[in-house]
Structure 1
């Protein structure tokens, strides 16, 4: 059945234009005026975007499915307007072998309602100094390599990993964290840590490892991608590295763009994340980084946990925040509607830019011949983020209760509706 999305404002090639989108056989068949089809979706007053691309999610599957699983995680992604995601390998067992990786790739395809790309680990079990067979992991479908949740502690291990990743044309996506400097902290170093009497995390835990890795990346020529960059100093390092021709890209997470450590109420574990919420100065630097291109893309770091793991004492609670269902609406409300960044910039950071950085050919762009992976957003009407509406198993977000604009009305994958607002 052919479908036409009519009367919407579409995001295409960096611009917002009024046009219809015709879908046939799961692909975008035409873009233009007064198009007709067997089925019509009226997008009057709505934004029609390429499906959002999130290169950083945690689906906890296999091994931790009480927190999230492939199906619920992908439903949450669809509700947020995402049609392609990259799942981190911190599951049980970690996909250290091509057999485990192939199984995860197959499960992602079978159980997901969106396209789920799978990371392999930089090192076996994410905490050792043993490198898996990168060529074999790539052959069965590994998107890139990451130990997310863990920094690579030994410089020699990272150096060898970068050499091997370069040989196999794989991206190293780094969770930059020196454990000796992190020192079991739970909150950013600053006045709030003292006020709440909580063990602090110095920004050096992030920045010193980024500095180390940038020099290693320069030497090896690998594509080095920094996950959830969170400090002004980190951005200064990335800016300098780019100026020196080092192949580095980085992402920012919505929570670091929208919140600071000053926002943390007393004993509120939903505000506990890693990297932690930083200072107002860091937050302002991240906004500048979005605008000047130092930050290449936005990724959610969707990290669901069971309620009992995110309740009680801040110090004992798990690190992490969900993001798939709240990212676009919160960012649109707080950054675009307030005039901090243009809508086109936000859309680029969440569609074509992640696709470009990770070399993804079949997502991120609204063009004839592309898969009909699309999201329709309501920018005009306010809604309240409510826990009862979440499709993720995880409800661990401090954004619940927030009044937002930009909720997803509909998400299509390969031309099929995988989420429609107001329908179970």
Structure 2
């Protein structure tokens, strides 16, 4: 295959030029201003951006245990449609990925899909926050990192020990930062919107208190610690400070947290309910500032499918979370690149090379000899999300006009998604 005339944007090298790319045997064989070879399939990318295949470090495919919401196959299809060639699944399935048998089964089934699917293992057995899993055995069986995502680690000493063990194994440990002691109704910010709904929600101190603790533990442990789906401006200030002190901290921002505020709950109801919740415009702006100055180095979707029936429940009963794989890139372009907060190369850096480096993955770059993983997209095309490859459709962005449309996703030299009819 020759990909011709595209604007090749590679954050790892800083390349942003019109180039042709020759793909052979699943690898990038050559990158040059003009490539002509006989009997090659030509993929015309004039007017399009050719970036490394996107990498999402935080997805829920609900498999095993909750496959009426999503399964590995539909999750892979949604990923490909969104431009993702590599994803990392969370461990809060049923059974929990806290043992090598469950891990190996999941990875074996994932290996049959068209994209690259990795699996994080739990930090604690059954996500109880008390008994640590066998990290070494799980890493040797294929776990790429550890997280109890969905549930915070409330025991500081347990969390610190887990960080130290992860540091020894040179794998990231990712933390869900919400202290339930402060929360009465999860998924909605405690503030003007929760007041309007007549409920007491989730105040930002619930996140900030644990972020403050874990920044200090990260500094002392030497571990690569990921603060997941950050929602509070104070949390970002804490991370910024402790990074300067030498902590190996990484922070995720989700597209919904940099795109929406708590006001979306009044418009979209349960479709805008998530943990941690959407917060104020000031918090949103501080998330954008954290993305711009590098304090936040990852954009991850926290793709969280739920059924229509579940999301149709009253707001205090419906589960938290939204799908995100199919709208992530467009939300980044619409709400970060178009307004001038980030350049295209900065956006792609947080969605490709940074995740790859953190998880020691040989992807996320466009260079000769690398795997031929690409997202090819029109940065200026407007479109409206209506139908999804995911089993679920729980998104507040359905019906909203977005800019930036994925046209092709290529993984290992194979076209795994095409928008070209």
TM-score w.r.t. the length of structure 2 is 0.96
1:294 aligned partner: 295
Give me the whole-angstrom Cα distance separating, in 2, the residues matched to 1:313 and 1:170.
Answer: 40
2:79 aligned partner: 77
Residue 216 (structure 1) shift: 1.6
Trace 1:211-250 onto structure 2 (pairs within 5 A): 211-250=212-251
Residue 340 (structure 1) shift: 2.3
Residue 186 (structure 1) shift: 3.3
Trace 1:24-173 onto structure 2 (pairs within 5 A): 24-37=24-37, 38-110=40-112, 112-173=113-174
1:417 aligned partner: 415
Q: Is the contact made by 1:45 and 1:380 (CA closer than 8 Å) also made in structure 2?
A: no
| Residue-by-residue CA offset, 1:189-217 (whole Å, 9 max, x unaligned) | 11111112122111111111111112222
1:396 aligned partner: 394
Give me the whole-angstrom Cα distance separating, in 2, the residues matched to 1:300 and 1:266.
Answer: 21
Residue 168 (structure 1) shift: 1.8
1:177 aligned partner: 178
Residue 290 (structure 1) shift: 0.7
| Residue-by-residue CA offset, 1:13-65 (whole Å, 9 max, x unaligned) | 23321000110000000001221341000011011111001000000001110
- Tell me the secondary structure at the aligned position of residue 380 of structure 1: strand
Q: Is the contact made by 1:151 and 1:176 (CA closer than 8 Å) also made in structure 2?
A: yes
User: Does the C-alpha gap of structure 1 residues 393 and 73 become closer, same or farther in structure 2, counting only changes over 3 Å?
Assistant: same
| Residue-by-residue CA offset, 1:324-379 (whole Å, 9 max, x unaligned) | 00000122122212222211111111111111222222x11011111111111012
Which stretch shows the higher mean deviation, 13-22 or 233-242? 13-22
1:336 aligned partner: 337
Task: Give structure 1 stretches of 5+ with no counterpart.
Answer: none
Task: Give structure 2 stretches of 5+ with no counterpart.
Answer: none
- Tell me the secondary structure at the aligned position of residue 186 of structure 1: coil
Q: Is the contact made by 1:47 and 1:376 (CA closer than 8 Å) also made in structure 2?
A: yes
2:264 aligned partner: 263
1:406 aligned partner: 404
Give me the whole-angstrom Cα distance separating, in 1, the residues matched to 2:314 and 2:142.
Answer: 40
Residue 405 (structure 1) shift: 1.9
Give me the whole-angstrom Cα distance separating, in 1, the residues matched to 2:55 and 2:337.
Answer: 19
Give me the whole-angstrom Cα distance separating, in 2, the residues matched to 1:412 and 1:20.
Answer: 15
User: Does the C-alpha gap of structure 1 residues 241 and 85 become closer, same or farther in structure 2, counting only changes over 3 Å?
Assistant: same
Give me the whole-angstrom Cα distance separating, in 2, the residues matched to 1:349 and 1:162.
Answer: 23
Give me the whole-angstrom Cα distance separating, in 2, the residues matched to 1:267 and 1:354.
Answer: 31
- Tell me the secondary structure at the aligned position of residue 78 of structure 1: helix
1:203 aligned partner: 204
Give me the whole-angstrom Cα distance separating, in 2, the residues matched to 1:176 and 1:115.
Answer: 28
Give me the whole-angstrom Cα distance separating, in 1, the residues matched to 2:267 and 2:246.
Answer: 44
Matched, 1:8 2:6: yes
Trace 1:344-359 onto structure 2 (pairs within 5 A): 344-359=345-360
| Residue-by-residue CA offset, 1:223-268 (whole Å, 9 max, x unaligned) | 1111111111100110110011111111100000000002322571
How many residue pairs are counted as aligned between the two chains?
A: 417
Give me the whole-angstrom Cα distance separating, in 1, the residues matched to 2:250 and 2:161.
Answer: 20
2:385 aligned partner: 385
| Residue-by-residue CA offset, 1:292-311 (whole Å, 9 max, x unaligned) | 11001100000011111111
Give me the whole-angstrom Cα distance separating, in 1, the residues matched to 2:16 and 2:59.
Answer: 28
Give me the whole-angstrom Cα distance separating, in 2, the residues matched to 1:128 and 1:404.
Answer: 40
